[in-house]
Structure 1
Amino acid sequence: MPSLSNTTALVTGASRGVGRGIALALGDAGATVYVTGRSVDADRTDDLPGTVDETAEAITERGGRGIAVQCDHTDDQQVEALFDRIDRDRDRGEVGALDLLVNNVWGGYEGYGESFDDPFWEQSVETWDRMFDAGVRAHFTASRLAVPRLLDAVESNGGLVVTVSSGHGGRYRGNVPYDVSKTATERLTRAMAYDLRDAPVSTVAVQPGFTRTERVLDAIGDDPEALAETESPLYTGRAVVALAADSRVAEKSGGVFRVGELAREYGFTDVDGSQPAPFDLPGDPL
């Protein structure tokens, strides 16, 4: 793993799941990592394990520095307060300039009542709103606040925005609100890269494979057959570390990359030493 000991990062939605895996991998690389989410000891979303405080403590134990900030990324005032906190910490000399934003927060599954495979006319408008408000809009809000800070980054690589998506190319993701929101996330990455084309800030999207998050494990249990093709959240985390350490990452700006592809390019593995293949989403191209 490359060293990111001089890197200050913000990972949104890092109480659990892929966000936690990314935050822990950054900790392994020695980074200072702000981790955000709504879950704290006294109030955990969806009764799933994991809090921002636990993630921050684990980062510090792994050699980085974790800073927990409770934040609902659908509340603009809370997001602005988060960035004000980062500014104050920097002004006091407690952290360096922000180098890396990881847009991971996602609340699209909360309160999900219908079947994922139901046709769009049987999906609720509330499902659409959750996937866009706690997904695409949250990524846009964090990015527009982060980029002026990233422009102040003094590291030679410049600033970087990584946004977590899902899927594989233009294949249909099996659900209209989900497919459109993730497509919008990737278009957001490309569009931001265009606006940043003359600036020292790059932006990429990453597509994890079938990941053993707390939500997935709660749904499928410990069935060996179901878990056979899965990967750990740290696999995506190691992809983010590799991108953040790449002095030529600007050449990737605007791109969308599967984690398995990045593993082969940069040579990292999952926690068990394996190198899961790029996720091949079943479904029809659109």
Structure 2
Amino acid sequence: MDAVNPVNPVTPVSEEWKPPRLDTTVAVVTGASRGVGRGIALALGSAGATVYVTGRSTRTEGRTEGLPGTVDDTADEVTARGGTGIAVRCDHRSTEDNQALTDRVRGDYGKLDLLVNNAWAGYERSSDVRFDAPYWDQPMWRYELCEGSLRAQYDITRLLTPLMFGKDDGKTGLIVGIGFTDGDTYLGQAAYDVFKSANDRLSKAFAADLRKKKIAALSLHPGFVRTERVEAAWEALGDGPAAVVHSPEYVGRAINALAADPDVLSRSGQVLSTGDLADEYGFSDVDGRRLPAFRLEGRMSLATRMDRLNRVVAQAAAS
């Protein structure tokens, strides 16, 4: 992806990653059937955490858009890595589903230490209408997919936050919103741009309301991630991976570092990047590289690129 800043090169790192121990941590990672959410859940599993893996894709009820990965698969691998994975089928746009998840966590553990808001439906149905079409050519369902994703984050967070109150272990609770934007740079599609910006603003609002509680809320931006959707497009296009691509677990390692940081409360309300945290905390990606923070230059062509990727994935699935 040519939007990355070429003056900030990849740093080779040879040290094996030693995850901070999070054995008593109870976490919820939303949208963890695949992609970034799956990478986060697996990294937490490697640290010994208990992870509620949520999403709409299950072995018995089908997978969204036919993409690989289910909550069951992710939860099993979390457990295989030394954590405790708990698969929960949950559509976070449904308050009933969110309440059921909250009741289950309360009944099982009576507390929550970490919530990662990763679920995002804004890329769905991307082959139906060009993802980067101007707003006057966009159907309302595209706006509603983005709007529903933000509503889902708000709803599950308002329900789960009280489980972080009054914990007797003295640890700081942590709420992380997975976002993507770059200040004033337009992301190439109106609804996408608005709701990705709103994602960061929501984390800032959570932090303000939590200022008298021992709970941090912040926003974390990945770089260019090698997700299942991206891999499917590369396979169909015959392209190879971009030099700046990183694994979903790179994001998970950033969250591990934040969750283990006793001073994480000082970061509440901030917007952080995975690459910057890698430099600060000293972790690398699964291939040993340390990739820099992802920066945009000028008007972002991400929407055009996503349109191409999604169309190729849809065509490949239909063939």
Picking from 83, 92, 99, the partner of 2:113 is: 99
Which residue is equivalent to 2:25? Answer: 7
Asked if 1 retains the 8 angstrom alpha-carbon contact of 2:234 and 2:240, the reply is: no
Which residue is equivalent to 2:253? Answer: 238
Structure 2: any 5+ residue segments left out of the alignment?
A: 1-18, 301-319
SS state at 1:68 partner: strand
Which residue is equivalent to 2:105? Answer: 86
Supply the AA of the counterpart residue of 2:34.
Answer: R
Picking from 165, 187, 192, the partner of 1:178 is: 192
Asked if 2 retains the 8 angstrom alpha-carbon contact of 1:194 and 1:254, the reply is: yes
1:1-286 matched pairs, under 5 angstroms: 1-42=19-60, 43-90=62-109, 97-112=111-126, 113-133=128-148, 135-221=149-235, 225-284=240-299
SS state at 2:191 partner: helix
SS state at 2:291 partner: coil
Aligned-partner Cα distance in 2 for 1:119–1:207: 25
Supply the AA of the counterpart residue of 1:274.
Answer: R
Aligned-partner Cα distance in 2 for 1:203–1:105: 17
The CA deviation at 1:220 is 2.3
Query: Taking structure 2 as the reference length, what is the TM-score of the superposition?
Result: 0.84
Asked if 2 retains the 8 angstrom alpha-carbon contact of 1:168 and 1:279, the reply is: no
Aligned-partner Cα distance in 2 for 1:243–1:122: 41
Query: Taking structure 1 as the reference length, what is the TM-score of the superposition?
Result: 0.94
What root-mean-square deviation, in Å, do the aligned CA atoms of Structure 1 and Structure 2 show?
Answer: 1.5
CA shift in 2, pair 1:264/1:99, >3 Å: same
Greater RCO (Cα-Cα under 8 Å, separation 6 or more)? 2
Map Cα deviations across residues 57-113 of structure 1 (whole Å, 9 max, x no partner). 00000010000010111111011001101111125xxxxx21000000011111122
Supply the AA of the counterpart residue of 1:203.
Answer: A
The CA deviation at 1:284 is 3.7
Aligned-partner Cα distance in 2 for 1:106–1:21: 15
Aligned-partner Cα distance in 2 for 1:261–1:223: 31
> Bigger shift: 119-128 or 213-222?
213-222
Aligned-partner Cα distance in 2 for 1:46–1:229: 26
Supply the AA of the counterpart residue of 1:88.
Answer: G
The CA deviation at 1:282 is 3.4
Identity of aligned residues (%): 49
Aligned-partner Cα distance in 1 for 2:74–2:56: 12
> Bigger shift: 118-127 or 43-52?
118-127
SS state at 1:227 partner: coil
SS state at 1:240 partner: helix
Supply the AA of the counterpart residue of 1:2.
Answer: P
The CA deviation at 1:224 is 5.8
Which residue is equivalent to 1:94? Answer: none
Aligned-partner Cα distance in 1 for 2:242–2:299: 24
